[in-house]
Amino acid sequence: MAGAHKALAKDKGRRPWVFPVLVGFGSNQGDSETVCRDAVERLSRWDGFRVVAVSSLYRTEPIGYTDQQWFVNGVVLGETTLSPQDLLAALLAVERLFGRVRTVRWGPRTLDLDVIFYGNQVMDGDNLRIPHPRAHERRFVLEPAAEVCPDFVHPVLGLSVREMLHQPAVQSQDVRRWKAL
C-alpha cells in the first residue's frame, strides 16, 4: 500500500492523481461501535489516503440474511492516490486485522469495508466492481452517504446520492441515525 503511493509520488516529480472515494463500513459482531471507530481511525493513518468526512453511525436492520444482529454502518468520504485494486487490497487487509472471516453471504461480520465510489470511474473486474453494484439499492449506504456527499452523481445512473435515496429500488430496511462518529 505505502509502496504504491511512494512509486506514484516519485513519478518524475509530478504530484500523483488524487481521487475522491467513498468507503462503506459496517459491523454486527463484538463491540461494533468500537470496531467501526477503530477502522475509521486506521483509514485516517494510511499513506495515500486522506479522510475528508465521516458520516454518523447508523443502526441498520440486516438484509438478505436476516437472522442476525442489527449492524452499525456508516461511510468515509476520502481522497486517495491508491489505485482501486490497491485500495481494495488495503481494505481487505484491515478486515482481516479485525478478524473478518467470510462464511455466510450477507451474514454476520466483525468488519465489512467496501469501495462504493472511486471518483467517476466504472470498473467491472473479477474481484472489484465500481461503483459498488448494489449501492444504489442500499439504504444503509445511501443514508450516511447523503450526509457527507449528497450531490455526488453515480457515474452510471446519472443520479445524485440524494436522488438515489428516494428511488423505488431502495430497500425499505430500517436505518436509524444513531451516533456521531
- Would you state the cell numbers that stand for residue 48, as one nine-digit string? 495515500
Does the annotation count 38 as an active-site position? Answer: no
Among 37, 86, 112, 139, the one annotated catalytic: 112
Length of the chain: 181
Does the annotation count 31 as an active-site position? Answer: no
d(CA 82, CA 109): 25
- Would you state the cell numbers that stand for residue 117, as one nine-digit string? 465510489
Does the annotation count 126 as an active-site position? Answer: no
Does the annotation count 100 as an active-site position? Answer: yes
Helices (H), ranges, the chain:
2-9, 32-44, 84-97, 139-148, 161-165
Angle between helices 32-44 and 84-97 (to 10 degrees): 140
Among 37, 59, 86, 114, the one annotated catalytic: 114
Neighbours of 14 (CB within 10 A): 9
Among 100, 134, 162, 177, the one annotated catalytic: 100
Task: Spell 15-34 as b/e; 16+ CB within 10 A means b.
Answer: ebeebebbbbbbbbbeebee
Among 37, 59, 86, 109, the one annotated catalytic: 109
Active site residues: 100, 109, 112, 114
